[in-house]
Amino acid sequence: MSKARFDAALFEGHKGVTAVIVPFDPEEVWGMKPVKLAPRRDGWLVKGTVNGTPFDGYIGLRWGRFFIIIESDLRSAAKLSVGDTLCVMVEPTATLKALGKAREQSKVTTAPKKGRADAIDLPAVRAVRGGRKPAGSRR
């Protein structure tokens, strides 16, 4: 899978969540269905860097826009503030580490009325182990 690079402004949204808007549709670019994260929540697992600082997370979709949550620990490590323009590099992943992070992050977002019926259902994460792929994952 190819890496995607883009620049985006860090903004503060609903419930104080800070995020960047992703300027592409991950399903179109990577040819992958989203992963089910929680009831009515799904997204594309990613790993990457923000201004050179590594992170794991997901690309979500709300209100017709794709986004990545930039958590406070990542903001601190990369010395970022709301309004800053970030250089983001992401690629799809299927690690338990990214799945666990995405499931935690998705809890702070507003859930749509219903999740995507075609979202891939990966096994529940009980113990997150960096670098390991979920059972049944091909990536």
Specify the pLDDT at position 83. 96
Enclosing domain of residue 53: 4-106
The 10s digit of each residue's pLDDT in 56-91 is 999 999 889 999 999 999 999 999 999 999 999 999
Place of tokens 């259902």: 121
Question: Is 137 inside a domain boundary?
Answer: no
Alpha carbons 57 and 70: distance in angstroms, whole number? 9
Largest separation between any pair of C-alpha atoms in the chain: 40
Question: Is 33 inside a domain boundary?
Answer: yes
Q: Name the pairing type of β-strands 4-9 and 18-22.
A: unpaired
Alpha carbons 104 and 67: distance in angstroms, whole number? 15
Alpha carbons 56 and 139: distance in angstroms, whole number? 15
Is 80 exceeded by the pLDDT of residue 131? no
Q: In whole angstroms, how large is the CA radius of gyration of the chain?
A: 14
Alpha carbons 105 and 29: distance in angstroms, whole number? 23
Question: Is 19 inside a domain boundary?
Answer: yes
Mean per-residue pLDDT for 27-41?
93
Specify the pLDDT at position 123. 67
Question: Is 77 inside a domain boundary?
Answer: yes
Domain count, the chain: 1
Specify the pLDDT at position 14. 81
Alpha carbons 59 and 34: distance in angstroms, whole number? 9
> What is the separation, in whole angstroms, between the first and last Cα of the chain?
9
Question: Is 114 inside a domain boundary?
Answer: no
Question: Is 128 inside a domain boundary?
Answer: no
Question: Is 97 inside a domain boundary?
Answer: yes
Of the pLDDT bands very low, low, confident and very high (cuts 50, 70, 90), residue 133 is low
CATH label of the domain that carries residue 68: 2.40.30.100
Higher pLDDT, 58 or 1: 58
Question: Is 131 inside a domain boundary?
Answer: no
Q: Cα separations (Å) of 104 from 1, 50, 52, 86?
A: 25, 19, 23, 23
Higher pLDDT, 82 or 128: 82
